[in-house]
Structure formats: C-alpha cells, structure tokens
Amino acid sequence: MSTELALARCAQPKLRGRSTYTVVGFLGYAVASCFGAVLASAWDFSLGERLVALVVPPLAFIVVVTCATVLKGREWIVFYQATFGAVAAVVAVGLAIDAHVWRLLDVLVLGTGVFLAFGRIGCFHVACCHGRPARRGVIYGPAHVAIGFWRRWEGRPLFPVQLVESAASLGLVGAGLLASGTPGAAALGYGAGYSVVRFGLELLRGDPARPFAYGLSEAQWCCLATAALCAIARPAAWTVFALGLVVAGSVLLVVRRRARELFQPPHLHELDAICDAILADPTHARRDTRLGVGASLHTLPDGRLDWILSSAHPLWSVAAARRIVAALWPEAEIVEGRTAGVVHALVTRAASSKVPA
C-alpha cells in the first residue's frame, strides 16, 4: 500500500459519529491530566499546588478560547494564545498562594506538550492545520471538504505536518523529563525546543487562517517571543542557541518576505476566491488580489477554461505564475502569453472537479 493511501485511510473526520478532533482532544486531556497528577505526586506538591495544576490551566484555556471566538465570530483555537493564557494564570495563582511556581510550570508545560501531541493527531484527522502539497503525504477527500478543507487540494498528497508536530512534542516532553532535576528546566527546555520546531514547521503549513506580519506568521512571532523569554529566564547555552536559531530564521524570512508573499496560503486562497467570483460573473471581468495579481477568464471553443494571469508585483515572473498555477490547478496546461508576464492556464472542466460548473 502506498504512503498516500495508508495515511488517507486513517485520516477520518468522524469516529463513531463524532468529530475525531473532539474525541482525540478529550482523550488527550485525560492522558495529560493523569500525566500531570503523576508528576505532582513525584514532586510532592501540596494540595493547593495540585489544585492549581489541575484546575487553572483548563479554565484559562476556556477563557482564552471563548474570548477569541467572540472576537472572531467563530470557533478560534490557537495553541500559543491558550498556552500563554494558561502560563500567566498559573504564575499569578501560584504566586498568590506562595507555591513552587517553577514546578507548577514544569507540570503545566509538559502536560500541555502531551495534550498537544493528541491534539495534532485530531487536527490530522479533520484536515485542520494541514501541510502543503508534497510528493507523498496524506490525501483528504470529500468528507474533509464538507467540513471546510480547501477543495483545490482535495485528492492531493499533503505533507503530514500535524503528525510531525505531534511526534516532536512527545520527544520534547521526554527531553523535558530528563532535564527536570532542576525546577523550571523542563518547562524552559520544552518551550525553547518547541519554539524552534514550530518555527520551522510553519513553513510547511498550508492552511490560510493565520495572520502574517512582515513575512512571519502569528505563530512564528510567538516562537520568537517564547525563545526570548526562555533565554531571559535562564540564560544557558541551550536557551541562547534556540533563540539564535529563531532570530536567524526570523531575519531571513523578513528580508525575503516580498519573494514569498505571492505563494503564501492566504494569498493563494484569496486568488481562488477571486476566481470563483469571476466564474460567477457573466462578464468574467478581471479582478485583482491585494498583492496585485490579476485574473480574467475566457472559455475556449473546446470547452476549456482559459485563466489569464498577470501582475504588477515587482517579483512577478512566468516562473512565479507557474508556481501559483501548480498550487491551484495542477492539471492545467500553461501557455506563456504574447505580452511579457502574462500566463494562460488552460483547465479542462472534465479533468478538474475543483472548477465549479
């Protein structure tokens, strides 16, 4: 069995009629709670410290997610937002009851790492937080499109970034346990390590619902902040090294942001939405994205759709157009126009179920 089919078979959005994301999420919470209870017992937590470790993080998570959902107008769960809220709440309550705050943070962060490992498996099954097209990977189908997966990438192998992050999180939890002889080392070790891992994995993410600023995603800015806080809290070789990696990556991405922005998932989804609007418009008039990539449409005598792409973007080129077309219509025939910078993407309706009738 091929890798694609093997991954596709286990990526089911429903489990016994319920969302696999929800089922795996509750399982992860249960396992993480038991894991935290074991650590609390091993480190001789007081009753107050045990209550803080058990009750405060999920309450903070609920508050943060609720506030984010109200502001966004739809369910909005962001890992770093919820984690920062939980850390702040645990530190505040821990200081108020004169608890061992660093040990509380060790339990919180390692427990969160266990929960995240399960959570990303749930993401994998329901196609959220998914990766970009790859030679091999997970293939999502109509059931995933029905719950919000981008139809353009239905049936295409995507890099299973969720599974990589899940495995990395478990590895960092293990490393944190090995370093847990000193209070706080486990939390800082996981935090610094995760900032490096997540920063890199963001480059492989294909989902669009993430804001970008100066070439970095929201999560990458959070990675930078996390690495900096870990290095400030405990300026050791490993925390400084993690910060150096994230800073170097940030500088590189900021410098190259104009070269990358045309191919970022938010822009690809914006162009796709514009193409849908053009199809719905009887005149098929040209429309432009916020980055200045324009599309118009003609129907050829043989029934194929002729998408005409051009742009005034300073880094627009035929190569850039080919890369965009490959993301939207991998089966398209690409023809360079007579005018420099103009590219025709010829898409056969019968060959592409992703093009609305």
| Lowest-pLDDT choice from 64-73, 298-307, 345-354 | 345-354
Q: Which residues form the domain of 217?
A: 3-255
Give kind and range of the element (H or E) at residue 139. none
| Lowest-pLDDT choice from 64-68, 111-115, 203-207, 311-315 | 64-68
* 339 and 249 assigned to the same domain: no
**Per-residue pLDDT at 351:** 44
**Per-residue pLDDT at 227:** 98
**Per-residue pLDDT at 261:** 95
* 32 and 166 assigned to the same domain: yes
Q: Give me 17's structure tokens.
A: 């009629």
Domain-located, residue 355: no
**Per-residue pLDDT at 349:** 67
Q: Is the pLDDT of residue 278 over 80?
A: yes
Domain-located, residue 288: yes
* 141 and 204 assigned to the same domain: yes
* 150 and 240 assigned to the same domain: yes
* 288 and 213 assigned to the same domain: no
Domain count, the chain: 2
Average pLDDT score over residue span 231-250: 97
Distance of alpha carbon 129 from alpha carbon 19, whole angstroms: 15
pLDDT grade, residue 98 (50/70/90)? very high
Residue 232 amino acid letter? I
* 166 and 86 assigned to the same domain: yes
Q: Is the pLDDT of residue 37 over 70?
A: yes
**Per-residue pLDDT at 311:** 96
Q: Is the pLDDT of residue 212 over 70?
A: yes
| Lowest-pLDDT choice from 75-84, 114-123, 244-253 | 75-84
Domain-located, residue 353: no
Residue 137 region by backbone torsions, left for phi larger than 0, else alpha for psi between -120 and 50, else beta:
left
* 271 and 212 assigned to the same domain: no
Average pLDDT score over residue span 142-154: 93
Q: Domain boundary residue among 202, 232, 255?
A: 255
Q: Is the pLDDT of residue 125 over 80?
A: yes
Domain-located, residue 356: no
Domain-located, residue 297: yes
* 167 and 21 assigned to the same domain: yes
Distance of alpha carbon 13 from alpha carbon 20, whole angstroms: 5
* 275 and 198 assigned to the same domain: no
Average pLDDT score over residue span 148-165: 95
* 141 and 272 assigned to the same domain: no
Domain-located, residue 339: yes
Burial of 322 (C-beta count, 10 Å sphere; 0-12/13-18/19+): middle
Across the chain, what does the average pLDDT equal? 91
* 82 and 148 assigned to the same domain: yes
**Per-residue pLDDT at 44:** 96
SS3 324: helix
**Per-residue pLDDT at 219:** 95
Average pLDDT score over residue span 24-44: 96
**Per-residue pLDDT at 353:** 45
Q: Domain boundary residue among 255, 282, 303?
A: 255
Domain-located, residue 352: no
Domain-located, residue 354: no
**Per-residue pLDDT at 1:** 44
Backbone angles phi, psi at 129, to 5 degrees: 55, 35
Q: Domain boundary residue among 193, 227, 255?
A: 255
Residue position matching structure tokens 């045990």: 50
Average pLDDT score over residue span 28-54: 96
Distance of alpha carbon 234 from alpha carbon 254, whole angstroms: 27
* 319 and 246 assigned to the same domain: no
**Per-residue pLDDT at 13:** 87
